[in-house]
Amino acid sequence: MTGQTELLIVTLARLLLDARSVAAGASSPIPGAAMLLRATDRQRPIRMSMLGSSKHNFFTNGTVELFDAAGQGRIDAFFLGGGQIDGGGNVNLVGAGEYPRSKVRWPGTFGSAYLYFVVPKVILFREEHSRRVLVEKVDFISAPGTSAPNIYRKGGPAALLTSKCLFHFDQAAGRFRLASLHPGVTLEEVRDCTGFQFDLAPGLGETPGPTPQEADALRTRVAKELAETYPEFARKLERELLQAA
């Protein structure tokens, strides 16, 4: 039996199969685990930057170097979350309610808008799948999902993964397409919990669980290496993996 955390890690890792250099921000244990899992594929080497890690981080000057590398085209994929995400791929990291008198305040935009423009593949990840998070229109645009044709931009949203499903983003249409449903989740449930309209992929199916090789890597290597940066989460992951075995 596959646990939810295990499924999310495996799904994110598969979205990185074509990436050679990946970065994740702070407080990102599941994306961090996905990078570590992707790194177990020795046939396709990958460089990773996990903020807070001394072992799995090729930067020596923190976010300054991250921004430089991204601008120079040396980062292929990046993970981004948001307090709100809408159907156009817009992300809100500022707060809920009318700005500047937002009723709820979040950490802030930081460099999200810049990375959204220059990193070719940005993977949106938010475990909570509700109309509170996945809204029709964000209250504040921290990072826009699309841009006008005359705006230079090589990056943008590629996918959105939640606890219920996986969406891919159609850049031409400027909207999400439901790619797969997680085990036990129905299309009606996703529609009920999503504040924006979305398209359906042909032959919509179930999000595949880990292969024996992926499951083994998670149990024998990834959880242990993740403990350097996220010790509490790593212990929780190991317990879940033992229960699922």
- The domain segmentation of the chain, as residue ranges, is 4-244
Q: Whose structure tokens read 């809408």?
A: 86
Tokens of 182: 């997680």
- Please give the Cα distance from 6 to 25 (Å, whole number): 20
CA atoms in the 13 A half-sphere facing the CB of 123: 31
Q: What is the pLDDT of residues 190-202, one digit of tens each?
A: 999 999 999 999 9
What tokens appear for 183 in the block? 């085990």
| CATH for 4-244, options being 3.20.20.100, 3.40.50.150, 3.40.1080.10, 3.30.390.30 | 3.40.1080.10
pLDDT band at 128 (very low <50, low <70, confident <90, very high): very high
> Which of 51-55, 83-87, 193-197 is least confident?
51-55
Residue 4: Cβ within 10 Å count: 15
Q: Is a pLDDT exceeding 70 seen at residue 81?
A: yes
Q: Give the separation between CA 85 and CA 145, rounded to whole angstroms.
A: 9
Distance, in Å, from the CA atom of 169 to the CA atom of 123, rounded to the nearest integer, reads: 10
Specify burial of residue 61 (Cβ count, 10 A radius: 0-12, 13-18, 19+).
Answer: exposed
Percent of the chain with pLDDT over 70: 98
Please tell me the distance from the alpha carbon of residue 88 to that of residue 15, in angstroms, as a whole number.
20
Rounded CA-CA distance 171/186 in Å is 26
